Amino acid sequence: MKYLSEFRNGAIAQRMAHEIAQATTRPWKIMEVCGGQTHSILKNGIDQLLPHQPQASVEMIHGPGCPVCVTPLELIDKALAIAAQPGVIFCSFGDMLRVPGTAGDLFQVKGRGGDVRVVYSPLDAVELAQKHPEKQVVFFGVGFETTAPANAMSVHLAKRRGLKNYSLLVSHVLVPPAIEAILSSPGSQVNAFLAAGHVCSVMGYWQYPPLAEKFSVPIVVTGFEPLDLLDGIRRAVLQLERGRHEVENAYERVVTREGNRAAQQLLREVFEVTDRAWRGIGVIPQSGWRLNADYRAFDAEERFQLGAIRTEESPLCRAGAVLQGAIKPSECPAFGKECTPRHPLGATMVSSEGACAAYYNYGRFLSAEELAKAASGL
């Protein structure tokens, strides 16, 4: 298939891995921002192709790039409360249904009689609102900048059609403030970033050069296929070895510097920037979107007036440390034991982009220390 098989060539991948190893003279830590990239790295064994010598290594750190995983527990609990109300059709993408809240998940609400539906687009939820004027239809709008235009379009369309029974439960977060928060952390060990290509296809990458300059880190816009990722890692390593810190676009077939201007205009029309809580991380200033005054009537939190909700994370779950890149999933004591995809403690084990799910599905049960020993033959 065009634009897939060309980027999955094993011989070229081995050659690129050799180039990375030849160029690496120091230990480097590179964070991939996107959970989809994390899964591709582990599924294709890219992490195992990279150099692992004590004095010359490339370690991939998995960032908070799973939008399902960083949706705050309070918002999950609000979703559960709204979905359980009579007269509500609660719509979501499928990966949100098993994300654990304080007391259960959306599947359990559905099992108790709640009208919870999986849709493939927020525009499907708008159609449901038009077909069922006697019901309140709510769509759980979760994601980074990639999914935001479709969610913005749904409320834009609902307003244009005069629908009074459609609302959006918004949990949109933004990548650049997250990168800044990670780099501003006193314990940050990240030397370079792979920026998410699909986010940049919408927003462009004009926001990244000030971050690269401020923190002296290379940022490489990267795709999701094996050769995309190896090329992004190679470019980041070459910059690090040469003492450079620039923004490079390694995904030119999809991404431009300016991004999708029509989508950005729609986002400016519907949303406004706000402080946003990230699950396992805390509040990051100016790191999210909410509906602006012109569209506030479509805000589900405003419409249902749930008030304060008391939340409680599992004391065994260390997803917050995983999301910050402080530990690998296999370094959590509950990983693969109390916490599995069938019985998850946190969102990182549920989501199709979660780092814990990736480690479990692709058999990465060794800690970083154990991997280093195995690589050195000890």
Over the chain (378 residues), the average pLDDT of each successive run of 10 is 71 94 96 92 94 93 88 93 97 91 92 96 97 98 95 98 97 94 89 96 97 97 95 98 97 96 97 92 93 97 84 86 88 93 88 90 74 54
| Burial of 235 (C-beta count, 10 Å sphere; 0-12/13-18/19+) | buried
The DSSP secondary-structure symbol of 104 reads B
Domain that holds residue 132: 69-174+259-304
Are residues 361 and 325 part of one domain? yes
Please enumerate in sequence order all residues whose Cβ is within 8 A of that of 376, keeping only pairs 6 or more positions apart, or say none. Answer: 52, 53, 54
* pLDDT (tens digit per residue) in 158-214: 999 999 999 999 999 999 999 999 999 888 889 999 999 999 999 999 999 999 999
The DSSP secondary-structure symbol of 2 reads T
Are residues 293 and 144 part of one domain? yes
Q: How far apart are CA 79 and CA 82, in angstroms?
A: 5
CATH number of the domain within which 142 lies: 3.40.50.11740
Cα dist. 90→47, 139, 143, 236 in Å? 39, 6, 17, 43
Are residues 98 and 157 part of one domain? yes
What DSSP letter does each residue of 311-363 carry, written as one string? ----TT--HHHHHTTSS-GGGSTTBTTTB-SSS-SSGGGTSTT-HHHHHHHTT
- Total domain count for the chain? 3
What DSSP letter does each residue of 26-76 carry, written as one string? SEEEEEE--HHHHHHHHHTTHHHHS-EETTEEEEEEE-S--HHHHS-HHHH
Is residue 180 in some structural domain? Answer: no
- Residue 43 amino acid letter: K
CB atoms within 10 A of CB 12: 15
* pTM, rounded to two decimals: 0.90
Are residues 158 and 203 part of one domain? no
Are residues 267 and 143 part of one domain? yes
Please enumerate in sequence order all residues whose Cβ is within 8 A of that of 344, keeping only pairs 6 or more positions apart, or say none. Answer: 98, 100, 350, 356
CATH number of the domain within which 28 lies: 3.40.50.11750
Are residues 325 and 234 part of one domain? no
Q: Which one, of 67, 77, 104, lies nearest residue 199 by Cα?
A: 67
The strand pair at 88-92 and 136-143 is best described as parallel
pLDDT, residue 370, reads 58
